[in-house]
Amino acid sequence: MTISSPPVAPPTAPRRRRSRPTRRRVGMLVAAVASVLAGSTPSSAAPQVELASVTPTGTAIEPAWLLDFSADGRYVVFASSMELVPGNPPPIPIAHHLYRRDVNSGSIELVSESMGGGYSTTPYWDWDQAAISDDGRYVAFSSAADDLVAGDTNGFDDVFVRDMVAGTTTLLSQSPTGQPADGPSWNVAISGDGDVIAFNSDAANLVADDDNGRDDIVVVERTTGVASLASVDSTGKQSDGDSRAPALSYDGRFVAFESLATTLTSVPATNWFEIFVHDRTSGETEQISTTPSGGPANQRSSDPDISADGNLVAFDSHASDLVANDTNNEGDVFVADRSNDTIERVSVRSNGVEANAQSAGARISGDGSTVVFESDATNLVWNDSNQVVDVFLHRIGPSRTFRLSRGPGGWNPNNGSVRAMVNRIGTAAVFWTEADNILSVPSPASGIYLAQQ
């Protein structure tokens, strides 16, 4: 990891632009599983698993696309075309509306509520675009709907934040004078405390003097609406390449993102995406995806996530020179420790053996103890013989890897699983699956599951 020289003057307000998330989509039907694992062998006590994509009366929700999981483990945010709360008018069949489910009480609330109350009458297409604060109060999301707030007339995807307590929705992607954004914005992240929202944007009028013509990372203070750019170098200079996929520390100070820019740090430029962290307090921008000697990686890195304190950064990479003995020629999942300038590969078996197929979709717990990811590998755990993508949980120090997507008794799921997410302390994780044998009783073709121990 390399830090560019500190700013000689206070940096200009950070700004951001748009980018699509790199997590794969598998169909329109969804399932997510939250899992708490304590053991490392087939005989370990199994987590209690239940279907979480259900109505308060117990009816399975199909489709249901997992969007986020609150760090306190209480709320699941998902999109569905089903009418799950009373509304007028009811949802149009092709629309996907955004919901928050309380896994403790089973209650479901509409997030993408129109300004007149009830369902939006325009489709919510960006159904993998939402992020929830640690306590579940604030949900940031992107949408092409034009009836969520007054004055949304630009016809683009915009970024909003919903206060689930106050019942209000605020447009974030707008100019400092309140004018509509002149380009689309999406790919949202929210700080754990809910006070800072980050997203990608093609718009050039969200911050002053945005003239680089690139996709930027925009950061907005929720309480003031003030926007700034995070995809800048340590002097505040705008990037020369597209940036995307932001992630935020708990207080929003640190912003992790991927970028094609060649001018953010002094590390020699490459032609692929690299991982960076911008410190919004000091103004420093640091490249994370570097070799042990501080040089550029030999392949692309993407999709970062960051711990609550901003020290640990999980990400995917196809590079083979980030750590020693990376010889599998596959994409892997890594965790960078910014405080000691080290990188560890975590998509490995508990004994350190590397994966025999690609791994991706890294998400790290707030305390930095746990990383979840998806993988096509068959050698990360015992008896993985289903030949489909599974989701895994890796404990950091000592290294232990578990499969989350498994049925009672550890049997293999009969279909693929993706979109793993983990709670603040690494005791619960969620993932998407189309397997219908996660439970010992008949299950829907897809669903969101919750497992706890």
pTM: 0.89
**Lookup: tokens for 260:** 């094609």
Tell me what pLDDT residue 27 has: 32
CB-CB contact of 238 with 216 (8 Å):
yes
Tell me what pLDDT residue 46 has: 54
Tell which residue, 170, 161, 216, has the closest CA to residue 190: 161
CA 133 – CA 75 distance, rounded (Å): 10
CA 160 – CA 171 distance, rounded (Å): 5
| Tens of pLDDT, residues 81-117 | 888 998 777 677 667 889 999 999 999 999 999 998 8
CB-CB contact of 389 with 376 (8 Å):
yes
**Lookup: tokens for 333:** 């999942």
Strands 359-364 and 370-375: antiparallel
Element (H, E) at 190: strand 185-190
User: What does pLDDT average to in each consecutive run of 10 residues of the chain (453 residues)?
Assistant: 35 32 32 38 56 92 94 96 81 81 95 90 68 98 92 94 97 96 96 98 96 96 97 97 98 98 95 97 98 96 98 98 98 98 97 98 97 97 94 92 87 93 90 90 86 67
Report the length, in residues, of the chain.
453
Tell which residue, 67, 188, 74, has the closest CA to residue 424: 74
Rg of the chain over all Cα atoms, to the nearest angstrom:
21
Element (H, E) at 344: strand 342-345
Segment 343-347 long-range contacts (CB within 8 Å, at least 24 positions apart): 343/1, 343/292, 344/396, 346/314, 346/371, 346/373, 346/394, 346/396, 346/399, 346/401, 347/373, 347/375, 347/377, 347/380, 347/392, 347/394
Tell me what pLDDT residue 10 has: 30
CB-CB contact of 450 with 56 (8 Å):
no
| Tens of pLDDT, residues 212-256 | 999 999 999 999 999 999 999 999 999 999 999 999 999 999 999
Tell me what pLDDT residue 47 has: 60
CA 287 – CA 266 distance, rounded (Å): 9
Tell which residue, 366, 453, 450, 403, has the closest CA to residue 74: 450
- In DSSP terms, which residues pair with 432 in a beta bridge? 418
Report the Cα 220 to chain-centroid distance in Å: 18
First-to-last CA distance in the chain? 37
CB-CB contact of 345 with 333 (8 Å):
yes
Report the Cα 240 to chain-centroid distance in Å: 25
CA 421 – CA 247 distance, rounded (Å): 13
Tell me what pLDDT residue 284 has: 98
